[in-house]
Structure 1
Amino acid sequence: MNKQNYPFIFISLFVTLICLFVVNLSLGSVSIPFSEIWTIIFQKTSSKSSWITIIWEFRLPKALTALIVGMALSVSGLQMQTLFRNPLAGPFVLGISSGASLGVAILMLFISSLSTNSFLNILLSESSLFGNSIWQISIASTLGAALVLSLVVVASIRILNNMALLIVGLMFGSATGAIVSILQYFSEAEAIKSYLLWTFGSLSQVTWDKLPFLFFLNFLGLLITWTMHKSLDALLLGERYAQSMGLNLQKTRLGIIFTTSILAGSITAFCGPIGFIGLAVPHLTKILIKTARHQILIPAVALVGGILLLVCDSISQLPMSSKVLPINAVTALIGAPVVIWVILKKRSL
């Protein structure tokens, strides 16, 4: 594709993103006209005061969260596919999501069962920092992801081959998954249900007081990723060729692991494990923009990721209904066909 077409593509993606953002705000159990949405956002006035509350307190934070999550998971997925030169690698391939899930499982399935202890009762109370809230889950998720990340970093220092590192990451994920299964086996039904609901993923848990933390972490991760675009381009040529060009392979690998951990880890901490977005979006973007240059791919993938997750969230709303589908179910329905298409295309080559 000619380079001169890129500005038009980016403008089209940005306009599509804005339109879907407004559509997303209008959907829900209460239908709000588009004209009212603009007035509510920019002037905080409306013919119905309840609409202002619905938009500002519930729908706007959720839509902004969808944008951040879609961009972060998509870019981290692109990094993993480039690092391992594997079209089926995703942001959670190194076991970061599994580590986060382990942290939450220990909190919900193990520590909660010991809450008869007076000290734990105080620690897990609503009024404490570790109270039964998204902060409590976020802290547990972050600690679990940090544990697995530390093991992956140690392994990356000792292992020179990227494919071997990929296998090690998958093994870490399998080990943590096994521990979670054991915890579920010995847990009460109510605790298991709470944990399973967390694994469905949710965009509505991030409120205005938590949104700045999520935005800052992911803005930092996206910015660092973009500064690494030349290193990512070099990795596409192969590890040995990249090293012959002067690329510090170990430093680049650690940088990719670090930024992916920031992006995927923070999303899992606040929203739960949201699958398929990081796996499918890079492929969808490469269909639209036929280039291997990460200087162009990174912002394009971020925009397409934001668009796709807004679409998924809009579908999950079940317009004019009070019910909301799990976001993971919708992303899987859209992402799975893309993954199948990639496998079939690779086998036909």
Structure 2
Amino acid sequence: MDRSGWMLAGLVALLAALSALWMLQGLGAGNRGFVLGLRAGKLAALVIVGAAVAVATVLFQTVAANRVLTPSIMGFDALYVLIQTTLVASFGTAAYAGLPAGGKFLSEVAVMTALACLLFGTLLARGGRDVPRMILTGVILGVMFRAMAGFLGRIMDPSEFAVVQSVSFASFNRVNADLLPIAAAVTALAVGLALRMAPRLDVLALGRDAAVSLGLRHQALVLAALALVSALVAVSTALVGPVAFFGLIVAGLAHALARTARHRVLLPAAALIAACLLVGGQWLFERQLGQAATLSVVVEFAGGLFFLYLLLKGRIR
């Protein structure tokens, strides 16, 4: 087994140990089946979100040829907040709370994925050289979505606005267990397709001119990769809420540990690192610190600092 194999095996062992600690620590003599069921549902959500965010970020950075960017720059989080704000403003707090969880989840994923694919397909119609223009358009759309959500928030009832605020930030404590099979299926399919594309992604990372000269169908692969990105980000966002900078941390750690550009190693490494960070972090804040802090807030703060570090490092070089 080479170095990459040992690294992946170590990450799998670490995730297994953290999962066992999460499931078994403090398990009393009461209704163990009920407690284990609750813990298993949250564990599955943490692993699904971690894998989805990590793989989406690595794919997006490969397409954009930039390891500072994350899919959140395309305005996914702003679109999610706009959807929630529109639903609350249209139906009211009581009707919003009574919406079928499965239908609402699938609708959110479908809307975000469809809009992203429409954007990607339209702007990349003339070839992969339009990737920077696509990113800039995503930034502009994100600003527009935030402005629309802010306008609706100003004219709605304060109690309705409080509901919008509660779902506008990522939370790993309010995951609906009924949505996990759907989210797991979509994530597993997308990750499997990404791994199947790994050799071609290695060629894509060489740059457009080099990839085309080697016979790669550049535009088709870029569109396929971005479609997977949109599906993965939509699933993770609809499941727990917007997570902006977490993928940046995970992708950076994956590149540092793997020390290779091969996506067959980078993708599973990033997914395993993300799952370990989320499971270990949630265990720390929930079991050891008594919910004295929120994992999503700490992750976003650390991700922001890491983003600034990457910018300064690039500027110095």
| TM value normalised by structure 1 | 0.82
The residue that corresponds to 1:347 in the other structure is 315
The residue that corresponds to 1:5 in the other structure is 3
Cα distance in 1 for residues equivalent to 2:160 and 2:221: 41
Letter in 2 for 1:196: Q
Helix, strand or coil at the partner of 2:243: coil
Structure 1: stretches of 5+ with no match in the other structure: 33-46, 116-120
Equivalent residues in 2 for 1:1-349 (5 A)?
4-26=2-24, 31-32=26-27, 48-56=29-37, 58-108=38-88, 110-113=89-92, 124=95, 131-132=98-99, 134-135=101-102, 137-149=104-116, 150-158=118-126, 160-161=128-129, 162-317=131-286, 319=288, 321=290, 323=291, 325-349=293-317
Counterpart contact for 1:94–1:152, Cα < 8 Å: no
Runs of 4+ in 1 over 3 A off after TM superposition: 132-137, 204-208, 323-327
Q: Which moved more, 1:301-310 or 1:86-95?
A: 86-95
Higher relative contact order, structure no. (Cα contacts within 8 Å, ≥ 6 residues apart): 2
Percent identity between the two aligned chains: 23
Counterpart contact for 1:107–1:140, Cα < 8 Å: no
Cα distance in 1 for residues equivalent to 2:115 and 2:96: 28
Letter in 1 for 2:313: K
| TM value normalised by structure 2 | 0.90
Q: 1:63-102: per-residue Cα shift (whole Å, max 9, x none)?
A: 1110111111011000111111112211323223322222
Q: Which moved more, 1:213-222 or 1:325-334?
A: 325-334
Letter in 2 for 1:342: L
Letter in 1 for 2:312: L
Helix, strand or coil at the partner of 1:338: helix
Letter in 2 for 1:333: F
Cα distance in 2 for residues equivalent to 1:191 and 1:156: 39
Cα RMSD after superposing both structures: 2.3
Which structure has the greater CA radius of gyration? 1
Helix, strand or coil at the partner of 2:178: coil
Structure-2 change in CA distance of 1:143 and 1:102 (3 Å):
farther
Cα distance in 1 for residues equivalent to 2:57 and 2:175: 22
Structure 2: stretches of 5+ with no match in the other structure: none
Q: 1:106-134: per-residue Cα shift (whole Å, max 9, x none)?
A: 112x2134x8xxxxx8xx377xxxx3464
Cα distance in 1 for residues equivalent to 2:209 and 2:279: 40
